Amino acid sequence: MVDTGSANRRDDRTPVLAVAGIGKSYAEGKQRRTVLADIGFEVARGECVALVGQSGSGKSTLLNLLAGIDKPDTGDVEIMGRSIAAMGEPELTLLRREHIGFIYQFFNLIPTLTVAENLALPLELNRIPSAVRRQRIGDWLAKVGLDGREGAFPDELSGGEQQRVAIARAIIHEPALVLADEPTGNLDGRTGNVVLQLLAHLFRDQGRTLILVTHSRAVSEVADRILALDNGRLTHDTEALSW
Ligand SMILES: Nc1ncnc2c1ncn2[C@@H]1O[C@H](COP(=O)(O)OP(=O)(O)OP(=O)(O)O)[C@@H](O)[C@H]1O
Protein backbone atom coordinates (compact mmCIF):
# COMPACT_ATOMS: atom_id res chain seq x y z
CA MET A 1 0.00 0.00 0.00
CA VAL A 2 1.48 3.33 -1.05
CA ASP A 3 1.41 6.05 1.59
CA THR A 4 0.17 9.04 -0.42
CA GLY A 5 -0.85 10.92 2.71
CA SER A 6 2.66 11.43 4.05
CA ALA A 7 3.30 14.51 1.87
CA ASN A 8 0.18 16.14 3.33
CA ARG A 9 1.50 15.70 6.84
CA ARG A 10 4.74 17.59 6.14
CA ASP A 11 4.75 21.17 7.26
CA ASP A 12 5.09 24.17 4.95
CA ARG A 13 8.81 24.55 5.60
CA THR A 14 9.66 21.21 4.02
CA PRO A 15 11.38 22.11 0.72
CA VAL A 16 9.35 21.10 -2.30
CA LEU A 17 12.57 19.73 -3.71
CA ALA A 18 15.84 18.76 -2.01
CA VAL A 19 18.76 17.47 -4.04
CA ALA A 20 21.92 16.16 -2.36
CA GLY A 21 25.17 14.85 -3.81
CA ILE A 22 23.77 13.86 -7.19
CA GLY A 23 26.14 12.25 -9.65
CA LYS A 24 25.42 10.69 -13.03
CA SER A 25 27.70 9.14 -15.60
CA TYR A 26 27.25 7.23 -18.84
CA ALA A 27 29.34 4.50 -20.41
CA GLU A 28 31.45 5.75 -23.31
CA GLY A 29 33.46 2.95 -24.86
CA LYS A 30 35.31 1.29 -22.01
CA GLN A 31 35.17 4.35 -19.80
CA ARG A 32 32.46 6.27 -18.02
CA ARG A 33 31.81 9.92 -18.74
CA THR A 34 30.60 12.04 -15.85
CA VAL A 35 27.61 14.13 -16.87
CA LEU A 36 26.63 15.47 -13.43
CA ALA A 37 28.86 15.70 -10.36
CA ASP A 38 27.97 16.49 -6.75
CA ILE A 39 24.85 18.54 -7.42
CA GLY A 40 23.04 19.83 -4.34
CA PHE A 41 20.33 22.46 -3.81
CA GLU A 42 16.91 22.97 -2.26
CA VAL A 43 13.86 24.68 -3.69
CA ALA A 44 11.26 26.20 -1.35
CA ARG A 45 7.53 26.39 -1.98
CA GLY A 46 6.65 29.24 -4.36
CA GLU A 47 10.13 29.67 -5.87
CA CYS A 48 10.62 30.05 -9.61
CA VAL A 49 14.05 28.68 -10.54
CA ALA A 50 15.74 28.87 -13.94
CA LEU A 51 18.24 26.13 -14.74
CA VAL A 52 20.68 27.52 -17.29
CA GLY A 53 23.87 26.33 -18.99
CA GLN A 54 25.52 25.63 -22.32
CA SER A 55 24.30 22.85 -24.57
CA GLY A 56 25.53 19.56 -23.12
CA SER A 57 26.03 20.94 -19.60
CA GLY A 58 23.55 18.44 -18.12
CA LYS A 59 20.29 20.40 -17.77
CA SER A 60 17.93 17.81 -19.28
CA THR A 61 19.72 14.99 -17.47
CA LEU A 62 19.18 16.83 -14.19
CA LEU A 63 15.52 17.53 -14.99
CA ASN A 64 14.95 13.82 -15.67
CA LEU A 65 16.54 12.97 -12.32
CA LEU A 66 14.35 15.53 -10.53
CA ALA A 67 11.26 13.93 -12.06
CA GLY A 68 12.42 10.41 -11.15
CA ILE A 69 12.37 9.50 -14.86
CA ASP A 70 16.00 8.50 -14.48
CA LYS A 71 17.97 7.48 -11.35
CA PRO A 72 21.24 9.06 -10.19
CA ASP A 73 24.35 6.91 -9.60
CA THR A 74 24.94 8.72 -6.30
CA GLY A 75 22.92 11.04 -4.09
CA ASP A 76 19.19 11.46 -3.73
CA VAL A 77 16.26 13.63 -4.67
CA GLU A 78 13.49 14.35 -2.17
CA ILE A 79 10.15 15.66 -3.33
CA MET A 80 7.96 17.05 -0.55
CA GLY A 81 10.32 15.37 1.92
CA ARG A 82 10.01 11.94 0.31
CA SER A 83 13.14 10.29 -1.02
CA ILE A 84 12.70 8.93 -4.52
CA ALA A 85 15.83 6.73 -4.40
CA ALA A 86 14.05 3.99 -2.51
CA MET A 87 10.79 4.17 -4.47
CA GLY A 88 9.68 1.51 -6.89
CA GLU A 89 8.09 2.43 -10.22
CA PRO A 90 4.43 2.25 -9.04
CA GLU A 91 5.11 4.61 -6.15
CA LEU A 92 7.13 6.96 -8.38
CA THR A 93 4.35 7.02 -10.96
CA LEU A 94 1.88 7.98 -8.27
CA LEU A 95 4.18 10.69 -6.91
CA ARG A 96 4.70 12.14 -10.41
CA ARG A 97 1.00 12.02 -11.20
CA GLU A 98 0.00 13.84 -8.00
CA HIS A 99 2.84 16.18 -7.28
CA ILE A 100 4.62 17.03 -10.55
CA GLY A 101 3.45 18.82 -13.70
CA PHE A 102 5.45 18.91 -16.93
CA ILE A 103 5.71 21.51 -19.69
CA TYR A 104 7.64 20.47 -22.80
CA GLN A 105 9.25 22.40 -25.64
CA PHE A 106 7.03 20.68 -28.22
CA PHE A 107 3.83 20.98 -26.13
CA ASN A 108 3.11 17.20 -26.16
CA LEU A 109 -0.67 17.56 -26.19
CA ILE A 110 -2.51 14.40 -27.20
CA PRO A 111 -3.51 15.09 -30.83
CA THR A 112 -6.63 12.90 -30.85
CA LEU A 113 -8.13 14.61 -27.79
CA THR A 114 -9.79 18.03 -27.66
CA VAL A 115 -8.45 20.85 -25.51
CA ALA A 116 -10.98 20.02 -22.75
CA GLU A 117 -10.09 16.31 -22.93
CA ASN A 118 -6.37 17.09 -22.69
CA LEU A 119 -7.06 19.21 -19.60
CA ALA A 120 -9.27 16.51 -18.09
CA LEU A 121 -6.50 13.88 -18.20
CA PRO A 122 -4.52 14.84 -15.07
CA LEU A 123 -7.81 15.36 -13.22
CA GLU A 124 -9.09 11.91 -14.20
CA LEU A 125 -5.78 10.28 -13.27
CA ASN A 126 -6.01 11.93 -9.86
CA ARG A 127 -9.66 10.91 -9.46
CA ILE A 128 -10.99 14.46 -9.16
CA PRO A 129 -14.83 14.24 -9.26
CA SER A 130 -16.38 15.14 -12.62
CA ALA A 131 -18.29 18.21 -11.37
CA VAL A 132 -15.05 19.69 -10.01
CA ARG A 133 -13.30 18.71 -13.26
CA ARG A 134 -15.72 20.72 -15.41
CA GLN A 135 -15.36 23.75 -13.17
CA ARG A 136 -11.56 23.56 -13.16
CA ILE A 137 -11.33 23.14 -16.92
CA GLY A 138 -13.53 26.22 -17.42
CA ASP A 139 -11.48 28.23 -14.91
CA TRP A 140 -8.17 27.26 -16.48
CA LEU A 141 -9.31 27.94 -20.03
CA ALA A 142 -10.18 31.46 -18.89
CA LYS A 143 -6.86 31.86 -17.07
CA VAL A 144 -4.85 31.00 -20.19
CA GLY A 145 -7.09 33.12 -22.46
CA LEU A 146 -8.71 30.22 -24.36
CA ASP A 147 -12.36 30.60 -23.41
CA GLY A 148 -14.58 28.92 -25.99
CA ARG A 149 -11.80 26.74 -27.47
CA GLU A 150 -12.50 23.63 -25.37
CA GLY A 151 -13.72 21.64 -28.40
CA ALA A 152 -10.70 22.41 -30.59
CA PHE A 153 -8.09 19.77 -31.40
CA PRO A 154 -4.42 20.65 -30.88
CA ASP A 155 -3.72 20.92 -34.63
CA GLU A 156 -6.42 23.59 -34.87
CA LEU A 157 -4.45 25.80 -32.45
CA SER A 158 -1.37 27.97 -32.98
CA GLY A 159 1.88 27.01 -31.25
CA GLY A 160 1.37 29.68 -28.59
CA GLU A 161 -2.18 28.49 -27.96
CA GLN A 162 -1.02 24.87 -27.69
CA GLN A 163 1.59 25.87 -25.15
CA ARG A 164 -1.04 27.77 -23.15
CA VAL A 165 -3.14 24.58 -23.03
CA ALA A 166 -0.02 22.63 -22.02
CA ILE A 167 0.68 25.11 -19.20
CA ALA A 168 -2.90 24.73 -17.93
CA ARG A 169 -2.59 20.94 -18.18
CA ALA A 170 0.60 21.02 -16.09
CA ILE A 171 -1.01 23.01 -13.26
CA ILE A 172 -4.69 22.04 -13.32
CA HIS A 173 -4.30 19.23 -10.76
CA GLU A 174 -2.39 21.62 -8.46
CA PRO A 175 0.94 19.76 -8.25
CA ALA A 176 3.60 20.82 -5.76
CA LEU A 177 6.22 21.22 -8.49
CA VAL A 178 6.16 22.01 -12.21
CA LEU A 179 9.15 21.18 -14.41
CA ALA A 180 9.40 23.01 -17.73
CA ASP A 181 11.93 22.10 -20.44
CA GLU A 182 12.54 25.05 -22.80
CA PRO A 183 8.88 26.17 -22.60
CA THR A 184 9.33 28.92 -25.20
CA GLY A 185 11.97 27.13 -27.29
CA ASN A 186 9.59 26.30 -30.13
CA LEU A 187 7.80 29.68 -30.30
CA ASP A 188 8.72 32.86 -32.15
CA GLY A 189 10.06 35.71 -29.98
CA ARG A 190 6.80 37.61 -29.59
CA THR A 191 4.63 34.54 -28.91
CA GLY A 192 7.30 33.18 -26.58
CA ASN A 193 7.17 36.41 -24.63
CA VAL A 194 3.39 36.26 -24.23
CA VAL A 195 3.61 32.65 -23.03
CA LEU A 196 6.44 33.54 -20.68
CA GLN A 197 4.56 36.44 -19.10
CA LEU A 198 1.53 34.18 -18.64
CA LEU A 199 3.68 31.47 -17.05
CA ALA A 200 5.32 33.96 -14.66
CA HIS A 201 1.97 35.52 -13.76
CA LEU A 202 0.24 32.17 -13.11
CA PHE A 203 3.04 30.92 -10.90
CA ARG A 204 3.29 34.16 -8.88
CA ASP A 205 -0.47 34.29 -8.55
CA GLN A 206 -0.77 30.70 -7.37
CA GLY A 207 2.40 30.60 -5.24
CA ARG A 208 3.44 27.46 -7.15
CA THR A 209 6.94 26.11 -7.55
CA LEU A 210 8.52 26.06 -11.00
CA ILE A 211 11.86 24.86 -12.33
CA LEU A 212 12.52 25.79 -15.92
CA VAL A 213 15.35 24.73 -18.14
CA THR A 214 16.23 27.42 -20.61
CA HIS A 215 18.80 28.84 -22.99
CA SER A 216 16.90 32.08 -23.09
CA ARG A 217 17.97 35.12 -21.15
CA ALA A 218 14.38 36.43 -21.24
CA VAL A 219 13.11 33.25 -19.63
CA SER A 220 15.73 33.30 -16.91
CA GLU A 221 14.80 36.93 -16.18
CA VAL A 222 11.32 35.94 -14.92
CA ALA A 223 12.90 33.59 -12.35
CA ASP A 224 13.55 34.40 -8.68
CA ARG A 225 16.70 32.35 -8.74
CA ILE A 226 19.22 31.07 -11.28
CA LEU A 227 21.02 27.74 -11.08
CA ALA A 228 23.82 27.54 -13.62
CA LEU A 229 25.38 24.28 -14.75
CA ASP A 230 28.77 24.13 -16.40
CA ASN A 231 30.06 20.80 -17.58
CA GLY A 232 27.95 18.87 -15.08
CA ARG A 233 28.73 21.05 -12.07
CA LEU A 234 26.63 23.67 -10.36
CA THR A 235 28.62 26.89 -10.78
CA HIS A 236 26.10 29.54 -9.69
CA ASP A 237 23.14 29.55 -7.37
CA THR A 238 22.10 33.17 -7.24
CA GLU A 239 19.09 35.38 -6.85
CA ALA A 240 17.95 36.46 -10.28
CA LEU A 241 18.56 40.16 -9.61
CA SER A 242 22.30 39.61 -9.34
CA TRP A 243 22.43 37.45 -12.46
N1 LIG B 1 21.50 8.38 -22.34
C2 LIG B 1 22.68 8.94 -22.52
N3 LIG B 1 23.76 8.22 -22.82
C4 LIG B 1 24.98 8.78 -22.97
N5 LIG B 1 25.21 10.11 -22.82
C6 LIG B 1 24.17 10.89 -22.53
C7 LIG B 1 22.85 10.36 -22.35
N8 LIG B 1 22.02 11.39 -22.04
C9 LIG B 1 22.78 12.50 -22.04
N10 LIG B 1 24.07 12.21 -22.33
C11 LIG B 1 25.19 13.15 -22.40
O12 LIG B 1 25.14 13.97 -21.24
C13 LIG B 1 25.56 15.28 -21.53
C14 LIG B 1 24.52 16.24 -21.00
O15 LIG B 1 23.34 16.11 -21.80
P16 LIG B 1 22.02 16.95 -21.50
O17 LIG B 1 21.03 16.55 -22.55
O18 LIG B 1 21.64 16.78 -20.10
O19 LIG B 1 22.52 18.44 -21.76
P20 LIG B 1 21.69 19.79 -21.87
O21 LIG B 1 22.38 20.77 -20.99
O22 LIG B 1 20.26 19.52 -21.59
O23 LIG B 1 21.90 20.14 -23.40
P24 LIG B 1 20.94 20.92 -24.44
O25 LIG B 1 20.85 22.33 -23.94
O26 LIG B 1 21.68 20.80 -25.71
O27 LIG B 1 19.62 20.21 -24.45
C28 LIG B 1 25.74 15.36 -23.04
O29 LIG B 1 27.10 15.34 -23.33
C30 LIG B 1 25.05 14.12 -23.55
O31 LIG B 1 25.70 13.62 -24.71
Q: How many CB atoms lie within 10 A of CB 13?
A: 8
Give the pLDDT band (50/70/90) at residue 216.
confident
ipTM above 0.90, yes or no: yes
Domain ranges of the chain: 46-57+87-242
Give 90: exposed, middle or buried? Use CB within 10 Å, 0-12, 13-18, 19+.
exposed
Q: What is the CATH number of domain 46-57+87-242?
A: 3.40.50.300
Ligand 1 centroid, distance to 239 Cα (angstroms): 26
**Residue 239 vs residue 4, higher pLDDT:** 239
8 A C-beta contact, residue 144 and residue 165: yes
| Helical ranges in 3-58 per DSSP H | 6-9
For the chain, the first-to-last Cα distance in angstroms comes to 45
pTM for the full model? 0.89
With a Cβ cut-off of 6 Å, ligand 1 is lined by: 26, 35, 53, 55-61
Determine the average pLDDT of the residues in 193-214: 86
Least confident residue range of 38-42, 106-110, 184-188 = 184-188
The pLDDT score that the predictor gives to residue 10 is 52
Nearest-atom index, ligand 1, CA of 26: 4
Ligand 1 centroid, distance to 25 Cα (angstroms): 10
Q: What is the pLDDT of residues 86-124, one digit of tens each?
A: 899 999 999 999 999 999 989 999 999 999 999 999 999
